[in-house]
Structure 1
Amino acid sequence: MNTNNNNIPRPIELLAPAKNLEQGIMAIDHGADAVYIGANEFGARQAAGNSIEDIAQLAAYAHQFGARVYVTVNTIIYEHELANAKLLLRRIVKAGIDAILVQDMAVVEMMKEIAAEPEMRGVSMPELHASTQTDNRTAEKATWLSSIGFSRVVLARELSIDEIKAIHKAVPQTELEVFVHGALCVSYSGACYASHHCFGRSANRGECAQFCRLAFDLKDNRGDVIRKASHLLSLKDMNQLDRLEDIIDAGATSLKIEGRLKDAAYVKNVVAAYNQKLNDIIENNPGVYCRSSRGKSEYTFVPNLDKTFNRGFTHYFLDGRRDDISSFDTPKAMGEYVGYVKEIRRDSFNVAGTAIFANGDGLCFFTQDHKLHGFRVNRVENNRLFPLSMPENLKAGMALYRNNDIVFERAMEGKTAERKLDIDITIGVDCGKIVLEAEDEAGRKAFCTLDEPLQEAQKPQSDNIIRQLEKLGNTQFRPRKTKLEGGVGNMFIPSSRLAAMRRNVIALIEEQPINIGETPDASKLTYSNNESCTNKRKHAIDAEKINVANVANHRAEAFYEEHGVKHAAAAFELTDNAYSSKRIYGTPHTNMPLMTCRYCLRYAMGYCVKRGGKQPTWKEPLLLESSDGRQVRLVFNCAKCQMEVYAL
Structure 2
Amino acid sequence: METVFHYGADAAYIGGKFLNLRAFSKNFDNDELKKAVKLAHKLGKKIFVTLNAIPNNSELELLPDYIQYLESIKVDSIIVSDLGVFNLAKQYSDIPITISTQANNMNWASVKMWKELGAKRVILARELSLREINEIRQKVTDIELEVFIHGAMCISISGRCLLSNYLTARDANRGECTQPCRWKYYLMEEKRPGEYFQVFEDERGSYIMNSKDLCTIEFLDKIIETGVDSLKIEGRMKSSYYAGITTKIYREAIDSYFEGTYSEDKIKEWKNELKNVSHRPYTSGFYLDKTNYNSQNYETSSYIRKYNYVGIVKEKISENSYLIEVKNKIKRGETIEIIRSKGEKISILLSEIINYENNDIIEEANPNQKIILEVGSSIQSGDLIRSLKTNATAN
TM-score by length of structure 1 reads 0.44
Asked if the contact 1:312–1:335 (Cα under 8 Å) also holds between the matched residues in 2, the reply is: no
1:251 aligns with 2:221: no
Residue pairs, 1:443-482, within 5 angstroms: none
The aligned counterpart of 1:237 is 213
1:46 aligns with 2:23: yes
Asked if the contact 1:182–1:239 (Cα under 8 Å) also holds between the matched residues in 2, the reply is: yes
Matches of 1:174 and 1:72, distance apart in 2? 19
Matches of 1:220 and 1:142, distance apart in 2? 46
Q: 1:39 to 1:407 in 2, by over 3 A?
A: farther
The aligned counterpart of 1:204 is 173
Residue 214 of structure 2 aligns with an amino acid whose one-letter code is M
Q: How big is the shift at 1:278? A: 0.8
Residue 100 of structure 1 aligns with an amino acid whose one-letter code is I
Matches of 1:254 and 1:407, distance apart in 2? 37
Q: How big is the shift at 1:61? A: 1.9
Q: How big is the shift at 1:191? A: 2.5
Asked if the contact 1:127–1:150 (Cα under 8 Å) also holds between the matched residues in 2, the reply is: yes
List 4+ stretches of structure 1 deviating above 2 A: 217-221, 223-226, 416-419
The aligned counterpart of 1:333 is 303
The aligned counterpart of 1:452 is none
Root-mean-square deviation (CA, aligned residues, Å) is 3.2
Matches of 1:326 and 1:407, distance apart in 2? 35
The aligned counterpart of 2:7 is 30
Residue 32 of structure 1 aligns with an amino acid whose one-letter code is A
Asked if the contact 1:42–1:73 (Cα under 8 Å) also holds between the matched residues in 2, the reply is: yes
Residue pairs, 1:546-625, within 5 angstroms: none
Name the structure, 1 or 2, with higher relative contact order (CA <8 Å, separation 6+): 1
Q: How big is the shift at 1:39? A: 0.4
Q: Could you report, residue by residue, the CA deviation over 1:105-145 in whole angstroms, capped at 9, with x for unpaired residues?
A: 22222222323xxxxxxxxx321011011111122221222
The aligned counterpart of 2:45 is 67
Matches of 1:218 and 1:143, distance apart in 2? 45
The aligned counterpart of 2:77 is 99
Asked if the contact 1:53–1:95 (Cα under 8 Å) also holds between the matched residues in 2, the reply is: no
Q: 1:306 to 1:235 in 2, by over 3 A?
A: same
Farther-moved stretch of structure 1 (31-40 vs 227-236): 227-236
The aligned counterpart of 2:200 is 227
| Residue 145 (structure 1) aligned to one of 114, 117, 121 | 114
Q: Could you report, residue by residue, the CA deviation over 1:46-74 in whole angstroms, capped at 9, with x for unpaired residues?
A: 12321122222222222234321100000
The aligned counterpart of 1:10 is none
The aligned counterpart of 1:172 is 141
Asked if the contact 2:10–2:45 (Cα under 8 Å) also holds between the matched residues in 1, the reply is: yes
Matches of 1:138 and 1:191, distance apart in 2? 17
Q: How big is the shift at 1:200? A: 1.1
Matches of 2:145 and 2:188, distance apart in 1? 40
| Residue 214 (structure 1) aligned to one of 180, 183, 208 | 183
Q: Flag the structure with larger Rg.
A: 1
SS of equivalent residue, structure 1 residue 256 = strand
Matches of 1:201 and 1:234, distance apart in 2? 19
Q: Could you report, residue by residue, the CA deviation over 1:9-63 in whole angstroms, capped at 9, with x for unpaired residues?
A: xxxxxxxxxxxxxxx1111111001110000110111123211222222222222
Q: Could you report, residue by residue, the CA deviation over 1:255-312 in whole angstroms, capped at 9, with x for unpaired residues?
A: 0000100011001111111111111011119xxxxxxxxxxxxxxxx99211111101
Matches of 1:219 and 1:163, distance apart in 2? 41
Q: Percent identity of the aligned residues?
A: 29
SS of equivalent residue, structure 1 residue 411 = strand
Asked if the contact 1:52–1:95 (Cα under 8 Å) also holds between the matched residues in 2, the reply is: no
1:163 aligns with 2:132: yes
Q: How big is the shift at 1:90? A: 1.4
Q: 1:134 to 1:190 in 2, by over 3 A?
A: farther
Matches of 1:226 and 1:47, distance apart in 2? 30
| Residue 319 (structure 1) aligned to one of 288, 305, 308 | 288
* Residue segments in structure 2 that go unaligned for 5+ positions in a row: 191-195, 262-270, 311-330, 344-379, 382-395
Asked if the contact 1:137–1:156 (Cα under 8 Å) also holds between the matched residues in 2, the reply is: yes
Residue 328 of structure 1 aligns with an amino acid whose one-letter code is Y
Matches of 1:312 and 1:407, distance apart in 2? 26
SS of equivalent residue, structure 2 residue 295 = coil
| Residue 185 (structure 1) aligned to one of 140, 154, 171 | 154
Residue 118 of structure 2 aligns with an amino acid whose one-letter code is G
SS of equivalent residue, structure 1 residue 247 = helix
Matches of 2:140 and 2:162, distance apart in 1? 30
* Residue segments in structure 1 that go unaligned for 5+ positions in a row: 1-23, 116-124, 286-301, 337-356, 361-378, 380-405, 420-473, 476-648
Q: 1:218 to 1:245 in 2, by over 3 A?
A: farther
TM-score by length of structure 2 reads 0.71
Q: Could you report, residue by residue, the CA deviation over 1:475-528 in whole angstroms, capped at 9, with x for unpaired residues?
A: 9xxxxxxxxxxxxxxxxxxxxxxxxxxxxxxxxxxxxxxxxxxxxxxxxxxxxx
The aligned counterpart of 1:277 is 253
The aligned counterpart of 1:596 is none
The aligned counterpart of 1:604 is none
Matches of 1:250 and 1:220, distance apart in 2? 50
SS of equivalent residue, structure 1 residue 332 = coil
The aligned counterpart of 2:89 is 111
SS of equivalent residue, structure 2 residue 158 = coil
